[in-house]
């Protein structure tokens, strides 16, 4: 199996977090690729026609994408235990979807700033993405703290990856202000060996 990844991608980090938590990081080959919506660069477009990462190429079946499909597959393949049984499963998947939405909005802001020239950028569109992030983080603070403190699952790992990406690419955004519980949880969670082994770096 080969995982197409990038050390800055929060979605790829979520997959690598799963592998670390399962003790299986060395069982999957990785290849670093890079690109963006207006230039596929080295993205594996022959493996994932959408030209997005992460993408998992398998020897005995079609390639898998996106990150939610890959993590589900890896958990089943390696017996990871990162997906609880229903009804908690639906909570966990909703937490993952919330964190993925934060990552997506944060990545889109980066693309808007990077791929468009100054006069072509839409401040209103960027502000709309920021509002989504703000709302989602406030919901984590108000409703999800007991789940976040209740043990590691795919939703919890996704939140770790999302908050890490905000600090990495949006250092001026003080998401911790007025979110003391989430900030305190993150300060402890980021110490996990899996989080330390996957800290984002600019490629
Ligand atoms: C980034 O550089 O922020 C990035 C790289 C790959 C995927 C998503 C984001």
How far is the C-alpha of 195 from the C-alpha of 110, rounded, in Å?
Answer: 22
Predicted confidence (pLDDT) per residue in 130-168, tens digit = 999 999 999 999 999 999 999 999 999 999 999 999 999
pLDDT of residue 38: 82
pLDDT of residue 203: 77
Helix (H, G, I), strand (E, B) or coil at 181: helix
- 87 CA to middle of ligand 1, Å? 33
In this structure, the answer to whether residues 145 and 101 fall within a common structural domain is: yes
- 165 CA to middle of ligand 1, Å? 9
In this structure, the answer to whether residues 136 and 174 fall within a common structural domain is: yes
Residue 168 located in a structural domain:
yes
In this structure, the answer to whether residues 62 and 135 fall within a common structural domain is: no
pLDDT of residue 14: 98
Predicted confidence (pLDDT) per residue in 98-134, tens digit = 999 999 999 999 999 888 888 888 999 999 999 999 9
CA of 6, closest atom in ligand 1:
6
Domain of residue 74, residue span: 2-78
Q: Whose CA is nearest to atom 9 of ligand 1?
A: 9
Predicted confidence (pLDDT) per residue in 167-177, tens digit = 999 999 999 99
pLDDT of residue 29: 98
CA of 12, closest atom in ligand 1:
7
In this structure, the answer to whether residues 130 and 182 fall within a common structural domain is: yes
Regarding the beta carbon of 107 and ligand 1, being less than 6 Å apart is answered yes
- In this prediction, residue 3 has a pLDDT band, given cuts at 50, 70 and 90, of very high
Regarding the beta carbon of 103 and ligand 1, being less than 6 Å apart is answered no
CATH number for position 186: 1.20.1050.10
Backbone angles phi, psi at 122, to 5 degrees: -105, 110
In this structure, the answer to whether residues 64 and 132 fall within a common structural domain is: no
> Is the confidence at residue 61, as pLDDT, over 90?
yes
pLDDT of residue 39: 86
Residue 36 is classified by DSSP as B
In this structure, the answer to whether residues 39 and 71 fall within a common structural domain is: yes
Spatial CA neighbour of 75 closest among 154, 12, 193: 154
In this structure, the answer to whether residues 104 and 72 fall within a common structural domain is: no
pLDDT of residue 116: 83
Whether this model's pTM surpasses 0.95: yes
- In this prediction, residue 37 has a pLDDT band, given cuts at 50, 70 and 90, of confident
């Amino acid at each position: 199996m080969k995982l197409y990844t990038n050390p800055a991608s929060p979605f790829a980090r979520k997959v690598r977090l799963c592998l670390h938590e399962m003790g299986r990081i060395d069982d999957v080959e990785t290849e670093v690729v890079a690109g963006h919506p207006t230039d596929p660069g080295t993205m594996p477009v022959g493996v994932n026609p959408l030209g997005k990462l992460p993408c998992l190429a398998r020897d005995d079946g079609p390639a898998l994408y996106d990150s939610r499909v890959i993590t589900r597959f890896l958990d089943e393949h390696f017996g990871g235990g990162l997906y609880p049984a229903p009804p908690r499963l639906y909570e966990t998947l909703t937490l993952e979807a919330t964190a993925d939405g934060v990552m997506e909005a944060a990545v889109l802001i980066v693309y808007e700033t990077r791929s468009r020239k100054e006069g072509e950028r839409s401040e209103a569109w960027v502000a709309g993405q920021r509002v989504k992030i703000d709302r989602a983080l406030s919901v984590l603070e108000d409703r999800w703290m007991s789940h976040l403190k209740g043990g590691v699952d795919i939703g919890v790992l996704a939140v770790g990856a999302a908050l890490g990406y905000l600090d990495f690419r949006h250092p001026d955004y003080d998401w911790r202000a007025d979110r003391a519980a989430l900030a305190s949880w993150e300060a402890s969670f980021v110490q996990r060996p899996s989080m330390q082994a996957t800290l984002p770096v600019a490629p």
